[in-house]
Amino acid sequence: MKAIDVRNLRKEFSGGIKAVDGINLQVYEGEIFGLLGPNGAGKTTTIRMLATMTRPTSGQAMVCGTDVTKDPDKVRRCIGIVFQDPALDDQLTGRENLDFHARMYGMKREERGERIKEVLELVELSERANDLAEKYSGGMKRRLEIARGLMHRPRVLFLDEPTLGLDAQTRRVIWEHIRKLNEKYRITIILTTHYMEEADFLCGRVAIVDHGKILALDKPSKLKESMGGDVITLKVKNSGKMADLAKSMEGAKRVKVHDSSVSVSMANAGTRIPELLKAAEKAGIDVESVDLHKPTLEDVFIHYTGKTIREQETSAGDRFRQRARAMGRR
């Protein structure tokens, strides 16, 4: 069953900025699906449309079998959402934040108390439930927000950059919680992230998004396989000559030169290193070091966007896009 079915979804902000430019995607029940892309790629805008917070300019989005523009309240009852920026009331306790949510979603008294206990245990916050949220650490706040998103037993949970701004250790804890939710309760999870490891670790399928478009969509393993084998990186004196040589090798793909290193992808790369080194020696190229690694999502990302995700983030166009998005949020 499809939890989410998006057809040709577009969102244009005033000034003609296309935040989302014709996205198609299907997410099946029980999946963890990732939208991977730099800031300003259109991930958050996509989530906002799916969560009925902003109207699409055109296209169709079905969530839990309901059109987001036709019956937003029905969609809202079916989804939980954890926003990118904190959205707790710091002046309320953890328990009160959950109680507020439960009542807003019309949960009955008995059900409320029980469910609050349940979700608090789930995110291991039972002992701090009666502390004001302002006393919580960043990771605890995130966990409380996840618990809140689950209060009304949604079938689909949206997590917008769930670990943004958290340290590595806390990030791990959040990841474990997300996994547990999915495995234990079969909740469909759609998350956005610009952390490669996060997408790789959590997501069954990943869509690489940039400039409002989906550039690739598959299982992380498939995306990595599609890079054509493992990557050999050689550090050499004469990188130009080495690149030519690498290109001449049978089955060599995506030869790239970066300063004094040359990288090349090929199937069964490990067994071909001796051959490569022999050829280099014959051509009189001085190889300083050799490195072999499996392609990562970072390699996939570079392949599709031509840039690393960090380079993307600092480009001026994206900053403009981000500002436009910030304005569109108001």
Partner 1 sequence: MKISAIYIIWLREMKKYVRNRSRLIGNMAMPFFFLAFLGMGFNSLGITGLPEGISYIDFLAPGIVAMGLLFSSMFAGVSILWDRQFGFLKEIMVAPVDRTSIVIGRIFAGMTSGVIQAIFILCISLLMGVRIVNPLGLVASLAFIMLIAMSFVGLGISIASKIEDMHGFQLIMNFLIMPTFLLSGALFPLDRLPAWLAAISYLDPLTYGVDGLRSLIIGTSHFPVIVDLAVLGGFCLAMILMARHLFNKTEV
Each residue 223-262 as x (binds partner 1 by CB under 8 A) or -, in order, gives ----------------------------------------
Among 11, 43, 95, 101, binds partner 1 (CB under 8 A): 101
> 207 - beta bridge partners?
35, 217
Which residues ranging from 122 to 151 are in contact with partner 1 (CB under 8 A)?
148
Report strand pairing: 156-160 vs 79-82.
parallel
Nearer to partner 1 (CB atom), residue 61 or residue 266: 61
Smallest separation (angstroms) from partner 1 to the CB of 146:
13
What is the spatial distance between Cα 233 and Cα 244, in angstroms, rounded to a whole number?
A: 14
Nearer to partner 1 (CB atom), residue 90 or residue 288: 90
Those residues whose C-beta lies under 8 Å from the C-beta of residue 186, and which sit 6 or more positions away, are 29, 30
* Helices 138-150 and 94-104, packing angle to 10 deg: 30
Which residues ranging from 49 to 88 are in contact with partner 1 (CB under 8 A)?
51-54, 72-74, 76-77, 81, 83, 85-88
Three-class SS state of 239: helix
Report strand pairing: 2-13 vs 17-28.
antiparallel
Distance of CA 205 to the CA centre of its chain: 10
Three-class SS state of 293: strand
- Only one of the segments 61-69, 104-112, 225-233, 241-249 lies at the binding site for partner 1 (rule: CB under 8 A); that segment is 104-112
164 near partner 1, rule: CB under 8 A: no
Nearer to partner 1 (CB atom), residue 47 or residue 214: 47
105 near partner 1, rule: CB under 8 A: yes
Those residues whose C-beta lies under 8 Å from the C-beta of residue 282, and which sit 6 or more positions away, are none
| Interacting residues with partner 1 (CB under 8 A) | 51-54, 72-74, 76-77, 81, 83, 85-92, 96, 99-101, 103-106, 148, 329-330
